[in-house]
Amino acid sequence: MEVTIDPSSIETRDAKRDTHLRAADFFDTENHPVISFRSTRVEFAGGERLRVTGDLTILGQSRPVTLEGTYDGAFTDPWGGSRIAFEARTEINREDWGLNWNVALESGGVLVGKKVQLELTVEAVKQ
């Protein structure tokens, strides 16, 4: 499985924040126009559960991650195509990929947390 994401397509419903996320402080979309995930192993973990291990690349840095998910089944779509569906999720530390920007708050702590939840809902069509 291979997934590519255009980080300039990220929308948070706040234009200033979206612009900042595209800048060098975060995703640096001018120099790194793609975030990608390429699986190296898919394992069924009993029942409908599955584990997908692969390399997540952000800012040109690849690190292994494992997503825990569920196989949601196979079906035929209204146009006769064969599809499979699954959902998967994992948590990463954004700083592991060099996403280090932050601001200290007057009340203590920082503005941006380290942990990021990644969630995928996927339908694949047999070609």
Mean local confidence (pLDDT), 77-93: 95
Q: Where are the domains of the chain?
A: 2-125
What pLDDT does 19 receive? Answer: 96
- CATH classification number, 2-125, choose in 1.10.10.10, 2.40.128.110, 3.30.70.100, 2.40.128.720: 2.40.128.110
Token digits for 11?
A: 């929308």
Instruction: Please enumerate, as own/partner, the contacts of 3-11 that have beta carbons within 8 Å and a separation of 24 or more.
Output: 3/36, 3/37, 3/38, 3/120, 4/34, 4/35, 4/36, 5/34, 5/35, 5/36, 6/33, 6/34, 6/35, 7/32, 7/33, 7/34, 7/35, 8/33
**pLDDT band at residue 127 using 50, 70 and 90 as cut-offs:** confident
**Alpha-carbon gap, residue 33 to 8, rounded angstroms:** 7
Which of 111, 104, 9, 120 is closest to 72 using CA atoms?
Answer: 120
Q: What percent of the chain has pLDDT over 90?
A: 87
